[in-house]
Structure 1
Amino acid sequence: MTANYREQIPAGFAPDSRVWVYQSSRLLMLSEALHVEDLLNNFIANWNSHGAPVKGYGNLFFGQFIVLMADERATGVSGCSTDSSVRLIKQIEELFKVNMFDRQMLAFMVKDKVQMLPLPQLQYAIDNNFLSADTLYFNNLVQTKEELENNWLIPIKESWLAKRVTLGV
């Protein structure tokens, strides 16, 4: 399940295409996920920057992560076009009563399921063997297509979290 997400990233985008990852506070139900995908498709079809169409991509991964991508080699993304994407995410928050902007909530892949954990509980989870240095972490700080492909789902020991906790070896 974990590696499959790479297959859904379009090949026709430059490696330095800008990426934004928004993490939902909960797994979306199937009906909600289908609605989100419709909203994303509609947004991408109409995404503009100063009147020029943005070469964009949007998808829902693992039923919980919205990934937006813009290939700026085609059209640069301006503040207004970025604002329009944020409005879309806020609309999704309101529609489905989820939080998409909580950067203190971390996501991990545990037994092929996305598990959420507040940042202040990370050390406790490691100390009690709920998570280990090799547990896969969703690094939502990725900023490019290349980072999304190679550094989005990485072991805790290879992420910025390794500096925040004491990892058992």
Structure 2
Amino acid sequence: MIFSPQSRVWIYQSNRKFTATEEQEILQKLEAFTSQWKAHGNELMAKAEIRYGYFIILTVDESQAGVTGCSIDSSVRIIKDIEQTYGVDLFNRFNIAYKLDDEVHVQGKEDFETLVNIKNITPETIVYNNMVQTLQELETKWEVPFKDSWHAQVFAHLI
């Protein structure tokens, strides 16, 4: 399947890295979900992936059928089910992901602020903008240097 650059994406970031077994089980669950995901009876062209062991990414190409409130609700239900099953937090927007030494790390807002303060997070540190909305943005604006991110505006007083 080839997805349009304008395909919608939703990113759910875990507060901890999934184990290899968990990742495999979650992908099976998500594949079963996306293969039957519908909006008002129309099948959605959708896929799910996990990147870096932390990020669940759902993608829907709306060129065939558009996402509806009900279809979004059904995706949220499966994500909440994953949260419950694996004891992870996938909805806390105050958890911030960044890359250090080619490893993804996730910290709460206060701990991240401390890392910025003590210069462990530099203007060049890669951070993750989970608010991207399209496949094209995912490819170009998701992994960005701290200085070019919304994070820099929130923590501007520290840099």
TM-score by length of 2: 0.95
* Alignment match, 2:88: 98
Identity of aligned residues (%): 37
Q: What's 1:34 paired with? A: 24
Measured in 1, the distance between the counterparts of 2:147 and 2:108 equals 18
List structure 1 runs of 4+ shifted beyond 4 angstroms: none
Tell me which residue corresponds to 1:59. 49
**How many aligned residue pairs are there?**
158
Determine the structure 1 residue equivalent to 2:105.
115
**Structure 2 residue 62 is the aligned partner of structure 1 residue 72:** yes
Separation (CA, whole Å) in 2 of partners of 1:96 and 1:142:
25
User: What RMSD, in angstroms, separates the aligned Cα atoms of the two structures?
Assistant: 1.2
Secondary structure at the residue paired with 1:150? helix
Q: Deviation string for 1:118-167 (max 9, x for gaps)?
A: 12333321221211010000110111011000011101100011112235
Amino acid at match of 2:64: A
Counterparts of 1:2-17 in structure 2, within 5 Å, are: 12-17=2-7
In 2: Cα distance, 1:141 partner to 1:20 partner: 8
2:117 equivalent in structure 1 = 127
**1:19 matched residue in structure 2:** 9
Gaps of 5+ in 2: none
Residue 68 (structure 1) shift: 0.2
Provide the secondary structure at the position in 2 that maps to 1:28.
Answer: coil
> How many Å separate the matches in 1 of 2:113 and 2:32?
41
Where does the alignment leave 5 or more consecutive residues of structure 1 unmatched?
A: 1-9
Asked if the contact 1:15–1:146 (Cα under 8 Å) also holds between the matched residues in 2, the reply is yes
Which residue of structure 2 lines up, in the alignment, with residue 153 of structure 1? 143
